[in-house]
Structures are given as C-alpha cells and as structure tokens.
Amino acid sequence: MSQTVYAPFLNGEFWIDAGPADFTVINPATGQTLGRETECGAAAVARIVEASQQAFLEPSWQKMSAAERGGLLLKLADLVEQQAEALIQTELQDTGKPISQLRTGELPLTAAIIRFYAGAADKVEGSIKSGTPNEILLQIYEPYGVVAGILPWNYPFVNAAMKVAPAVAAGNAIVLKPAQETPLGTLAFAKLCVEAGIPPGIVNVVLGSGSTTGQALIEHPLIKKVSFTGSTSVGQHIQKAAADQMKMVNLECGGKNALIVFADADLDRAAEAALLSGFVNAGQLCVSCSRVLIESSVAAEFEALLVERSKKIVMGDPRNEATLVGPMITRSQYESALSYLIEAADSECEILCGGSKARIAAPCENGFWIEPTILSGVRPGMKVHDEEIFGPVLSCVRFETEKEAVAIANSVIYGLSGSIWTKDGSKALRVARAFDTGICWVNTMLSGYPQISLSPHKLSGTGVELGMEGMLAYLKRKSIVIGIDDDAPIGWGLKR
Ligand code: TAP
C-alpha cells in the first residue's frame, strides 16, 4: 500500500522529489505510522534558501508597505481560526496532544501571536538623534533578508507563529525547519501562509534531520539570522556554527524551573498551578515549573494535596474531550524520561505517585505513555533536580527560609521561568527580583501574552522572542548621517 509522503514546501508547493523519503512519521498516541518524510540534503536546502532569497528580492515584496504585510498576517490569523478544526486534527495525529489542549490553548495562542505582529508591523519606529545644525542623524531598521527558524516538536504551531509572524511583519523571508518527528503542523502552517496571500517563497519549509538538513540550513551563506528553539546542547552547537559567518542567533533553549510555595500561600491554588505546570503537554514545555520548592512547615500537607488532586488527571486517548494529559511526543523523549524515572527509583527520593510507563487502552496501547509522577525528598545535586527531564515529572524540594528557596531556585544551569506563591506582596517582589530567569509568575502560572517578551537567562538561551522586542530582533539597525549645509566645513579644508 502506498504511504503518504511529507515533502518540503517550496514557493507555495510541496516538492515531492526533493530527496529520499526514508523517515517514518509516527502518531505518538498509538504508535501507528502516519507516513514517510523526505530528507533535504545540502543541495535541496540550497535550492530552497535560494528561492527564499529570490522571493525576498522580488520588487512586489520589497515595495510592500509594512501595513500591507500586517494585513496579510491578519488574514493568516483569521484562517488559523476558520480552519482550526482541520489544524487540530493534523496536530492531534502528529503530536498526540489532547484535543482540549489544542482547542483552548495552542490554536488560540497561535492566532493571538500572529494578530499581535500583524498590528506591530507598521509600529516600528526609527529615531532622529541630536547632532549638529549641519547634519541630521537618522537611525532606521531594515530586514535581514532570509532567516532560518528551527523548531522543536513540543508546540509546532505556536513555535512556527513565534518565528514566522515577526519575521514576515519585519519584511524578511523565512525558511522553517520543523523537528523531523513532527513535520505535519509546520507544513499545514506554511500552506496557510500562502492561502493568506503571503507571496510564495516568503515562507518555505525544509524537512529532515537536524544533523543533515538543519546543519546545511544554518551554514548556508544566504541565511543571515538563525532563530532556534530547542535544547541547550543543540543551541550551543548552533551558536558556534553561526560564528564563522557572524550570523545573528536567537536561542530559546531548555529550562528546569522552580515554583516556590511559601507557608502563607493559598495552598489550593498553588497545588492547581503546580499540577498544571508539571503535567500540561505531558511536561514537554520549556517554561513548565517541574521543581516544586515547598516551605517545610507545609510540605507534607502540600505534597498530600498534590497526590490527591493528581488522581483526577485524565490521561488517555487524545481524541477524548476529557483527556488532560497525552503521550510523550517522540520515542526518544519517552525513553529519555523513563531513564530519569529509573534514576529516581535508585536515588534517595521517594516516588509519591506514578513512576513508570502508563498502560492505556486500545487504540493507544502502543503509544509513548508515562504516568504523571510526583517525587518527594528531592535535593540539589540529584539528576532529577538539576537536569531537564521534559516529561510529566514533578520534583518536590523542601526549604526552611526565603534565602534558601532563592538559592535552590537559582542553583541550576537554566534561567527560563519561575513562579512564586505567597500572600506577602513584598516577599513576592523580593523573590521575583532575585529569580535569575526570563519570566516570573506571582500567584499565577503559565499565562502567556504575545505582548510580553521572553528573554532567557543563563544556559536557557540568548536574545528575545515575543513582544515588540521580538520583532525588532528580526531587523538590522542602520544609521544615516545627512549633511544639510553646503557651506559647512568638511574634511581638512584642502579645497579652499
Ligand atoms: P533539539 O533536539 O535541540 O531540536 C530542536 C531542533 O533543532 C529540531 O528541529 C532539530 O532537528 C534541530 N537540530 C538538531 N541538530 C541540529 C543542527 N546541528 N543544526 C540545526 N538544527 C539542528 O530539541 P527538541 O528535543 O526538539 O526540543 C526540546 C527542547 O526544546 C527542550 O530542551 C526544551 O526546553 C526546548 N524548548 C525551549 C523553548 C523555549 S521558548 N526556551 C520552547 C520549546 C522547547 P531534528 O529534531 O529533526 O533532528
């Protein structure tokens, strides 16, 4: 029986014979094969990047006003909403995400991000600096040209929107590279861009592995900027590879974030927040707070609350509206998260619930399922404390003082997010300032707004995404000095 072939997206069409279609794409909820994916080698990547450069240089794109680009993005946001059900079905198959999460979380956020940058497109303001009466000093912004957007597999639509919308609003062309395991959402997204009227070639997609396709993309000389979301180790590699050609890089990488519960907190709400943070998207979320730091005097009570509430979490067939937690999205991530559970079982911490593979009924019996797991007695220095598991595992750590809580929170190599739970306003602000992270929630958790920038600290990355600053990151600065006085002295005065 012939299988579906997923092919790269070049100038508004799928390029079917771009390379060998050897990679099997799997539905992680069932383990069933969805189709085969083409891999772009260096020559195919070069052809796609060159086509993007041509699309960028087209007079119709060069002369398009920022407001018109914004108008195209508005159409794209409308299409995301109008075609939400079809997009949800695509993503459900490719990532196994619960349908309720896609419907109420990922799709609305995708549309909101695109709409924010639609409005931002014509709000970029250069500046006039004070010079002398003889000269006017201007500072303006220009697009880079062709940029690369390298995506992870955990939130394909949101991540595509976070790169395409600001890049296009700023007037660039962009080549996306989705994770090899999850190409479907990115391909559907790119097709929608063309339907919205974004000229073919402005959003192209290469397919294949990071080591072959991704590497060829970042090394191509026509790529002027790389915006990467993924692991810290690959981010470090990309930064080094980009150095030879002095490309701009934006890196949004891993996290091992802390949610701090002080004894005076509303424990009910804090428990809800911790469970959402740890288990939404099966823990495959960079900003999730997978370390729960609890003041000792309420630790036993709070851990009991977490365990009790976690029993209500429905895990299973993602097509079921009641399902809250789905599978691990890739086999390798499933195996990696399981290895941490083995590590936890061998360590001094206690497994309060979960701790192994989850058994899910047909048709999901062969999917990549892990039980939502809560660990107690975790301490800095343990692997489950220090390393990003990127699975449904909450690690509970006890502390005595505010100072100790901050020290534990900041003790990891990452600095992405944090959450603080207390009714003491001064303490909340003190701890928020002490957190060495790009974002911090106080008495709330995971609320995401396109207008708020995310700028990772430490080994969580470099640069900025989202917000107006996220759009300026897709623009080069240029200074122009204009002489306006023909009699002004110039040079050494040799002419007179
Ligand atoms: P990675 O393994 O780092 O992969 C991310 C992307 O980079 C994939 O498309 C991958 O391709 C590609 N890649 C790998 N090697 C490459 C190379 N040499 N050149 C160019 N591209 C290369 O991450 P992942 O496992 O997909 O995602 C999980 C990680 O992403 C976690 O650490 C998570 O914290 C992080 N993440 C961070 C954020 C933010 S906002 N900070 C958001 C989401 C996720 P293949 O997979 O096809 O090989």
H or E stretch covering 146: strand 146-150
Examine the domain organization and report whether 55 and 120 are in the same domain. yes
Please tell me the number of Cα atoms within 13 Å of 211 on its side-chain side.
0
For a pLDDT cut of 90, what percent of the chain falls above it?
Answer: 96
Examine the domain organization and report whether 80 and 123 are in the same domain. yes
> Using a 6 Å cutoff on CB, does residue 254 contact ligand 1?
yes
Atom 16 of ligand 1, nearest CA residue: 210
CA quadruple 37, 207, 281, 467: dihedral, nearest 10:
-160
Q: For 375-390, write each residue's pLDDT tens digit.
A: 999 999 999 999 999 9
- The pLDDT value given to residue 323: 97
Q: Can you give the CATH number for the domain in which 220 is found?
A: 3.40.605.10
The reply to whether 490 falls in a domain is no
Assign 489 a pLDDT band (cuts: 50, 70, 90). confident
Examine the domain organization and report whether 277 and 237 are in the same domain. no
User: What is the distance between the terminal CA atoms of the chain, rounded to a whole angstrom?
Assistant: 86
Q: How far is the CA of 277 from the centre of ligand 1 (A)?
A: 20
What average pLDDT does this structure show over 433-451? 96
> Using a 6 Å cutoff on CB, does residue 463 contact ligand 1?
no
The reply to whether 451 falls in a domain is no
> Using a 6 Å cutoff on CB, does residue 38 contact ligand 1?
no
Q: How far apart are CA 398 and CA 426, in angstroms?
A: 22
Q: For 418-432, write each residue's pLDDT tens digit.
A: 999 999 999 999 999
Q: For 6-61, write each residue's pLDDT tens digit.
A: 999 999 999 999 999 999 999 999 999 999 999 999 999 999 999 999 999 999 99
Examine the domain organization and report whether 285 and 299 are in the same domain. yes
Whole-angstrom CA distances from 459 to 148, 325, 434 are 21, 28, 17
Examine the domain organization and report whether 369 and 307 are in the same domain. yes
493 pLDDT higher than 90: no
- Is the CA virtual torsion 15, 18, 22, 28 positive or negative? negative
What average pLDDT does this structure show over 218-225? 98
495 pLDDT higher than 90: no
> Using a 6 Å cutoff on CB, does residue 390 contact ligand 1?
yes
The reply to whether 489 falls in a domain is no
Examine the domain organization and report whether 249 and 263 are in the same domain. no
Q: Whole-prediction pTM value?
A: 0.96
Atom 40 of ligand 1, nearest CA residue: 252
Q: How far is the CA of 130 from the centre of ligand 1 (A)?
A: 44
- Mean per-residue pLDDT over the chain, rounded: 97
Q: How far apart are CA 58 and CA 221, in angstroms?
A: 19
What average pLDDT does this structure show over 89-116? 97
Residue 373 domain boundaries: 258-442
The reply to whether 471 falls in a domain is yes
H or E stretch covering 217: helix 215-219
Name the domain count of the chain: 2
Atom 10 of ligand 1, nearest CA residue: 210
Examine the domain organization and report whether 125 and 98 are in the same domain. yes
Q: How far is the CA of 253 from the centre of ligand 1 (A)?
A: 8
The reply to whether 488 falls in a domain is no
The reply to whether 125 falls in a domain is yes
Q: Can you give the CATH number for the domain in which 395 is found?
A: 3.40.309.10
- The pLDDT value given to residue 1: 55
Q: How far apart are CA 296 and CA 469, in angstroms?
A: 40
Q: For 133-183, write each residue's pLDDT tens digit.
A: 999 999 999 999 999 999 999 999 999 999 999 999 999 999 999 999 999
Q: Closest by alpha carbon to 230, among 174, 175, 149, 164? A: 149
Residues 6+ apart with CB under 8 A from 303: 294, 352, 374, 376, 396
Examine the domain organization and report whether 246 and 330 are in the same domain. no
What average pLDDT does this structure show over 460-483? 97
Q: How far is the CA of 179 from the centre of ligand 1 (A)?
A: 7
SS3 category, 239: helix
Residues 6+ apart with CB under 8 A from 314: 320, 322, 323, 324, 325
Residues 6+ apart with CB under 8 A from 434: 406, 410
For β-strands 414-415 and 457-458, DSSP reports them as antiparallel
Examine the domain organization and report whether 246 and 264 are in the same domain. no
DSSP β-bridge partners for residue 35: 25
Assign 496 a pLDDT band (cuts: 50, 70, 90). low
Place of tokens 């014509």: 122
244 pLDDT higher than 80: yes
Examine the domain organization and report whether 245 and 269 are in the same domain. no
The reply to whether 298 falls in a domain is yes
> Using a 6 Å cutoff on CB, does residue 163 contact ligand 1?
no
Least confident of 103-112, 246-255, 342-351, 456-465: 342-351
State the alpha helices, DSSP H only, in 352-487. 383-386, 402-409, 425-434, 467-472
Residue 304: how many other CB atoms lie within 10 Å: 12
Examine the domain organization and report whether 391 and 323 are in the same domain. yes
> Using a 6 Å cutoff on CB, does residue 215 contact ligand 1?
yes
Examine the domain organization and report whether 225 and 285 are in the same domain. no
Atom 46 of ligand 1, nearest CA residue: 179
The reply to whether 448 falls in a domain is no
Ligand 1 atom closest to Cα of residue 230: 30
Q: Which residues are catalytic?
A: 163, 252, 286, 465
- Is 204 within 8 Å of 194 (Cβ atoms)? no
